[in-house]
Structure formats: C-alpha cells, structure tokens
Amino acid sequence: MGGRTLHGRTVDLGAQYFTVREPAFARVVEDWRERGRARPWTDRFHTGDGQQLGAAKRGPQRWGAPGGLRSLVEDLATGIDVRQQEPVQSVRAGAAGPDVDGVRVRAVVLAMPDPQATPLLSDDVAGRPSAAGLAAPLDHHWSPTIALAAGWAARRWDVDGVFVNADAGALGWIADDGRRRGDGAAVLVAHSTPELAHEHLTTPEGAESTMLAALRSQLDIRDQPQWTYVRRWRYAKPESTRDEPYRLLDESGTVGICGDGWSPAAKVEGAWSSGDALGAHLVERLS
C-alpha cells in the first residue's frame, strides 16, 4: 500500500484501490469513510488493447484514500507503540519463547511475502527450508511489477482506470491518481506486465520509455508529461494462493506468518483478514 510524495502530493504506486466483501473489514472501512480517511472511488473501469479503449464496465465499488493508501495503514497503527528499525535479520524460536535479532519477545508476526520471510527464519522455525520436515516450506513465488507515475499540466483523458490487455505489450493497468485521491491532479499511474518487470528488475528506470510510450498510446495523449517517476515492486503479487489464513511456524504457536499470500486473493482485504486472524489467535494464545 506504498506510495510516494511527488511534486507536492502523495501518489499511490503499489496497491491501486481496495474492495470490500467481508463484514469485519467493512466495519473498518466504514470507520475510515466516516472520518474522511477512505473514499469510494469508482465502480467503472475501461479495458484497453494498447491502442483503443473498450467500453467502461461496472464492477465492485473500488475505494481510494485522500491521503494515499499508506495513510490507512498508519491509521490502523494509531495508539500502538510502533518502533521501526533496520530490517530484521533473524527470528528464532526456543523453549523460552521466540526472539527477534536476539531480543526476547512474546510473539512474532511475519507479515511479508515468503521470499522475504524465509531468510529470517532459523532452523528451529518450521518455515525454514532446511526444517521442511516440520511443515510445508514457505516456497511460494511472487511476481514483480514496475510502477510509472507521470504528471501533466492538465487532464488529457477521461478514464478512472484501464485494465490493459497484457498481450498488448508493456502495461497491465493504468489509473487516474487525481480522481482516485479526489484532488483532481492530472497524474497517471501505470503498472508494467510481470514480463517487462523481469526484464528490467535490476535497473527499472530502463523500462520507463517503453511504459510511457505505451501509456500515451493507450490514452492517446499527444504531449509529454511534465515529470515521471519509476518504482520497482520486486514482490508485487503471489503467483499462487493458499486457503490457510495464516500459518504458525513454531511449536509454541507464538511465531506466525500472514499477509496477502495467505488468502484466496492477493488483495488489501485479504492481507487485512489474514493479519486479523493471526492477531486473534495470538491474543487468545497469550492471554
């Protein structure tokens, strides 16, 4: 749900919107809406073949956030003692309880993709490949995406979002960030296909000219943008799903992994539900 402040405003570069199905998540979203944190964005997106736009199609209500989607994560953390530090290097489990980088803790939640969690786990934690006898290894793969943000002086298009046919080439998705956030800025965000991202994984800037040309072609924008920004998401989307909502990785049940890889669909709501379920388990286990 990451974004970046570009030319004075936040731009959503990762997740593009969220949808709501389950009542528990709907209550969280309603609270955000009442406090002006989240806003219904649109239920209509176009399709595109790289050149022409198809008719707009209705789907579920998509939600955005005036302050960017990251602001919703920060809102959930309000009142909680959050301390950030350098990336965690190791998580160990033991008879006396787990530890994180050598500091004893009551419980550990790894809310991240398998390829980021696995290197942290010591042999006494079941997700570790060398301890694969204890549980299925955490070996799901994630595919990458490159995000391109571009700003113009004025809006030259009339779409909220476009699902671009991946066979058309470089792009899979285009969004109007100004309409999504509700401030009207003439800013577009495009996401590459996983194939293009793989090609430019080490130097994502190398994908910019191809992505910009595809974006302008799809929306028939004649002039160049005033600015652009490129960001790589190495672990954008799990390539497979799981039915388990989370997994406990040690025998004491106090080290767990959750996130969008632990849901039937890799979405914001799936990540929230997975974390909520693991949190509920830990509260019960520790109280």
Ligand X SMILES: Cc1cc2nc3c(=O)[nH]c(=O)nc-3n(C[C@H](O)[C@H](O)[C@H](O)COP(=O)(O)OP(=O)(O)OC[C@H]3O[C@@H](n4cnc5c(N)ncnc54)[C@H](O)[C@@H]3O)c2cc1C
- List of residues contacting ligand X (CB under 6 A): 1, 14-18, 87-88, 111-113, 116, 120, 145, 147, 191, 233, 236, 259-260, 266-268, 271
- Kind and range of the H or E element at 177? helix 177-181
Name which of 34 and 86 has its Cβ closer to ligand X.
86
Residue 16 C-beta: closest distance to ligand X, Å: 4
Q: How far is the CB of 90 from ligand X (least distance, A)?
A: 9
Place of tokens 């998580």: 91
> Would you say how long the chain is, in residues?
287
The two three-digit tokens of residue 117, written as one number: 């969690």
Taking the complex as a whole, the smallest distance from the CB of residue 33 to ligand X amounts, in Å, to 16
Kindly state the smallest distance separating residue 222's Cβ from ligand X, in Å: 27
Smallest separation, CB 97 to ligand X (Å): 19
| Measured distance CA(165)–CA(81) in Å, rounded | 44
Shortest Å distance, C-beta 224 to ligand X: 24
**In the chain, count of helices (H) and strands (E)?**
7, 15
- Pick the closer one to ligand X by CB: 88 or 131: 88
> What residues form DSSP beta bridges with 161?
175
DSSP 127-153: TSGGGTTTS------EEEEEEEEEE-S
State how far the Cα of 2 lies from the Cα of 125, in Å rounded to an integer. 29
Contact criterion met (CB below 8 Å) for 62 and 96: no
Nearer to ligand X, 72 or 126 (CB): 72
Q: Which residues contact 225 (CB under 8 A, 6 or more apart)?
A: 150, 151, 152, 212
Q: Which is nearer to ligand X, 5 or 85 (CB)?
A: 85
Q: In this complex, which beta carbon is closest to ligand X, that of residue 27 or of residue 226?
A: 27
151/245 with CB nearer ligand X? 245
Which helix (H) or strand (E) segment holds residue 248: the answer is strand 247-248
